[in-house]
Structure 1
Amino acid sequence: MTSVTSLFAPVETDLCILTENLKNLVGARHPILYAAAEHLFGAGGKRVRPAIVLLISRATMLGQEITPRHRRLAEITEMIHTASLVHDDVVDESEVRRNVPTVNSLFNNRVAVLAGDFLFGQSAWYLANLDNLEVVKLLSEVIKDMAEGEIQQGLNRFDTTTTIDAYLEKTYNKTASLIANSAKGAGLLSGVSAEIATDLYYYGRFIGLAFQIVDDILDFTASTEALGKPAGSDLISGNLTAPVLYALEEKPYLEVLIEREFAQPEDIEQAIALVMESRGIERSRALAAQYAETAVQRITQLKPSESSKALVDLADYVLSRLY
């Protein structure tokens, strides 16, 4: 299995610069916010989103150095992602993420909400300073999509009538929109054609969907230690993901357990067992594979390079996390 470190080798130096810049962008004027940022940006995330922005930047600027605006877009992308995680953890009352305490558990909910707001505000300010209206529009839409996705998830908790289409729309809003629009934004900063910009958008969209579906499978199949959060936590909180929605088609009793919100002592163990016995995991895996394959088809126009190869390999990496 390819490690994420070797996968991102073409932009390894860029990612090191990014991590330092992120801490500086938040600034040391606010000790608690700086502590929160240092905690977040040092929490050992995979940096998948900024890595995609940097790989696309390099793949579309062959023979030239990427610009400070490309780097700034990668930083903005990680800031928006991190701000959304901070808010998610407050909404979900999470105590750990990536095996480290969340901002809300280290400080409190009030500080966590304000830290998330501050990061969104900072990202908007730096976005405006890119002086590229089309990229500003793309990333502004992402922030709207993320909020909409969180609302959709909140309204559909424990709702067994949720469809796969509704799940995919929510997943696009919460996860794939940022990857899709920042991928397109990187291409626009490189001056690619409208056609290639659209292809880059769809590459990000499909990679983002595959990535989240795989995460939703791992919520059932990976250990708590590997996940960095309790296994089955999505189901416990009433967030019905692809494996559950597919399992509901086969296991009618699962609907009973979900609709009573796992009120009985053995309910959650029973629900997880029903999902595991069904074809829910298998069908979700096939869906993720289909999206990963479609993503790769969208970047065949890019000239061969280390960076374009890494973008192709990323699709394999996303799926390999299941094995």
Structure 2
Amino acid sequence: MRPALVIIGSTFGDYKTETVIPLATSIEIMHMATLIHDDIVDDAETRRGIKTMQSALGKNTAVYCGDFLFTRAFMLVADMAEVDMLKDLSKAIAYICDSEIDQNEQKFDQTVDVRKYLKRIGGKTAALFALSLAMGAHKAGCDKKLTSKLTNIGKNIGMAFQIVDDILDFTGNEKTVGKPLLSDAKQGIYTLPVIYSLQGSYKEETMKAIEMIDEDSGESLLECVIKSGGLERTKGLARKFIKKALKIKDSLPDGYGKDAITSIIEKQLERKF
């Protein structure tokens, strides 16, 4: 998704394969590095049904591999990026790291609210989506107004993408999603369905369900987020971000890029993994 957005963003300007493809590659390598580090922090054994690096080779090797990928990504970008682009890239990585720290500090905190959750996913996921479209557009010579529109579209797609991910953690097919369901809640990471459930009349029931999550594999918690309307409210918020993205998209110039972005936005609520 992320390298595709770099390429799509570049089609709004002077697309050049020799510069855009390395940029898109650098974004995906960077994303891979963050996933390796995530798996170390979460002590995850599998991702998408495959053994994680830290599980297969140990945490030390995984840390060094993640760091190595970061350096390779920056080396690719440095060969063709202007100072402003490097600054934007550095800011995005800092935002991602800051959000991951927030998530770690908020573990098992049942007072986490919607605002904190949105700030967390804004950095954890949306920042890289926004950067991907922006880097492609910037490198292709798009003006600031168009690049800003694409940045905002990327941010809203990323917000919707992560919210849908958090819905799938409750309702998805384990084999399709590629990880055990309710894995976030079991690690003490309370996403939007749980946050909504804790805020309503099912608060006490939800708190009890969290306490017994290891005993019943999260069945009580799933029941709570459904009965409380937490899942439906979460879907509603995902739709709001999708509508925002579609509204900005309407002002884009017609062409391949606009059509591709439209397709990506419209498919978010239908995602199964």
Q: Which residue of 1 is the match for residue 12 of structure 2?
A: 59
Q: Which residue of 1 is the match for residue 92 of structure 2?
A: 142
For 1:249-308, what per-residue CA distance to the aligned partner results, in whole angstroms no more than 9, with x for missing partners? 2212213444x5x47623733222211222111111111111012112223333222332
Answering whether residue 271 of structure 2 is matched by residue 318 of structure 1, we say no
Distance (Å, rounded) in 2 between the aligned partners of 1:286 and 1:60: 34
Q: Which residue of 1 is the match for residue 83 of structure 2?
A: 133
Letter in 2 for 1:214: V
Of 128, 135, 149, the match for 1:199: 149
Answering whether residue 148 of structure 2 is matched by residue 228 of structure 1, we say no
Distance (Å, rounded) in 2 between the aligned partners of 1:131 and 1:55: 18
- Deviation of 1:114 after TM superposition, in Å, equals 0.8
Letter in 1 for 2:203: P
Distance (Å, rounded) in 2 between the aligned partners of 1:187 and 1:110: 37
Distance (Å, rounded) in 2 between the aligned partners of 1:286 and 1:322: 17
Name the SS of the counterpart of 2:267 in structure 1.
helix
Letter in 2 for 1:54: I
Distance (Å, rounded) in 1 between the aligned partners of 2:71 and 2:87: 15
Name the SS of the counterpart of 1:298 in structure 2.
helix
Q: Which residue of 2 is the match for residue 178 of structure 1?
A: 128
Answering whether residue 194 of structure 2 is matched by residue 241 of structure 1, we say no
- Are the counterparts in 1 of residues 12 and 142 from structure 2 also a CA contact under 8 Å? no
Answering whether residue 52 of structure 2 is matched by residue 102 of structure 1, we say yes
Name the SS of the counterpart of 1:59 in structure 2.
coil
Distance (Å, rounded) in 1 between the aligned partners of 2:226 and 2:7: 38
Answering whether residue 249 of structure 2 is matched by residue 299 of structure 1, we say yes
Moved more, 266-275 or 225-234: 266-275
Moved more, 246-255 or 95-104: 246-255
Spell out structure 1 runs of 4+ moving beyond 4 A: none
Q: Which residue of 1 is the match for residue 22 of structure 2?
A: 72
Letter in 1 for 2:13: T
Moved more, 211-220 or 98-107: 98-107
Count of residues in Structure 1 that have an aligned counterpart in Structure 2:
271
Answering whether residue 42 of structure 2 is matched by residue 89 of structure 1, we say no
- Are the counterparts in 2 of residues 257 and 267 from structure 1 also a CA contact under 8 Å? no
Q: Which residue of 2 is the match for residue 49 of structure 1?
A: 2
Name the SS of the counterpart of 1:191 in structure 2.
coil
Moved more, 67-76 or 142-151: 67-76
- Are the counterparts in 1 of residues 213 and 220 from structure 2 also a CA contact under 8 Å? no
Of 276, 280, 302, the match for 2:230: 280
Of 176, 191, 203, the match for 1:252: 203
Unaligned runs of 5+ residues in structure 2 are none
TM-score (norm 1): 0.80
Aligned CA RMSD, in angstroms, stands at: 1.8
Distance (Å, rounded) in 2 between the aligned partners of 1:206 and 1:196: 16
Q: Which residue of 2 is the match for residue 112 of structure 1?
A: 62
For 1:46-69, what per-residue CA distance to the aligned partner results, in whole angstroms no more than 9, with x for missing partners? xx11011111212333xxx42422
Q: Which residue of 1 is the match for residue 119 of structure 2?
A: 169
- Are the counterparts in 1 of residues 53 and 62 from structure 2 also a CA contact under 8 Å? yes
Distance (Å, rounded) in 2 between the aligned partners of 1:178 and 1:100: 24
Of 161, 167, 191, the match for 1:217: 167
- Deviation of 1:138 after TM superposition, in Å, equals 1.1
Name the SS of the counterpart of 2:194 in structure 1.
helix
Of 133, 151, 174, the match for 2:101: 151
